[in-house]
């Protein structure tokens, strides 16, 4: 099972706003996550890697967005981090 963390960033102005975390269904693959992210957040700009061991942990997507209150546009980066979640095993005492 995978969990994703999505962090949108206004790359033009240099700030980010609150993202969200989402648990995905058990049958979701990394390819499914990548394709859906491209549809939602634009083209893939780069991969994200863990510092200590260099393993890939997600992607950075980018697309041009329009401000809600005017006709100006900005470059939106979306950082999608993928976590593999192991389900909790709950053991109950038997009486």
Domain that holds residue 34: 2-84
Region 1-8 average pLDDT: 93
Asked whether the predicted pLDDT for residue 22 surpasses 90, the reply is yes
On average, the pLDDT of the chain sits at 90
48 domain-assigned: yes
Q: How many distinct structural domains can be found in the chain?
A: 1
Q: What is the pLDDT of residue 85?
A: 85
Residues of 44-75 as b/e, b for ≥16 C-beta within 10 angstroms? ebeeeeeeeeeeeebbbbbeeeeeeeeeeeee
Region 45-59 average pLDDT: 87
Task: Note if the pTM is more than 0.75.
Answer: yes
49 domain-assigned: yes
Q: What is the pLDDT of residue 54?
A: 81
78 domain-assigned: yes
Asked whether the predicted pLDDT for residue 24 surpasses 60, the reply is yes
Task: Provide CB contacts within 8 A for 37, sequence distance 6+.
Answer: 44, 59, 61, 78, 80
93 domain-assigned: no
């Amino acid at each position: 099972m995978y969990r994703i963390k999505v962090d949108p960033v206004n790359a033009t102005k240099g700030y980010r706003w609150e993202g969200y975390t989402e648990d995905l269904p058990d049958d979701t693959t990394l390819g499914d996550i990548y394709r859906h992210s491209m549809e939602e957040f634009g083209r893939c700009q780069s991969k994200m890697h863990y510092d200590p061991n260099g393993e890939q942990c997600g992607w950075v997507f980018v697309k041009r967005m329009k401000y809600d209150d005017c006709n100006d546009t900005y470059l939106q980066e979306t950082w999608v981090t993928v976590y593999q979640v192991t389900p909790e095993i709950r053991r109950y005492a038997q009486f």
